[in-house]
Amino acid sequence: MAEWFVYILRCRTGQLYTGITTNLERRLREHNSGFGSKFTRSRRPVTIVHRERFVNRSLAARRELRIKRMTLSKKLQLIRG
């Protein structure tokens, strides 16, 4: 069974992007090469500023949705720990 990760990226513009993946390094390369998502394509380079590990896709997807619904200030609190 693959591990799943929820991650938050900080774009060159300072904007945040949240996603899920089974391979953080590969996904970061995809984002930075312009093939990760339409949102990050014009905001490169991006860096991972937060990650959480989950045992399955369902739990990761639920957490991703909760993070996406957070206010910016709550996301920044999450990133700071």
Long-range contacts of 40-45 (CB under 8 A, 24+ apart): 40/9, 40/11, 43/11, 43/12, 43/13, 43/15, 43/17, 44/11, 44/12, 45/12
4-51 pLDDT, tens digit each: 999 999 999 999 999 999 999 999 999 999 999 999 999 999 999 999
| pLDDT at residue 75 in the model | 98
- Residues 51-76 have pLDDT tens digits of 999 999 999 999 999 999 999 999 99
Spatial distance between the Cα atoms of 36 and 31, rounded to a whole number of angstroms: 4
CATH of the domain at 53: 3.40.1440.10
Boundaries of domain holding 25: 4-80
- For 40-65, the three-class secondary structure string (H helix, E strand, C coil) is HHCCCCEEEEEEEEECCHHHHHHHHH
- For residue 77, the model assigns a pLDDT of 98
**Domains in the chain, number:** 1
Is the pLDDT confidence value at 1 over 80? no
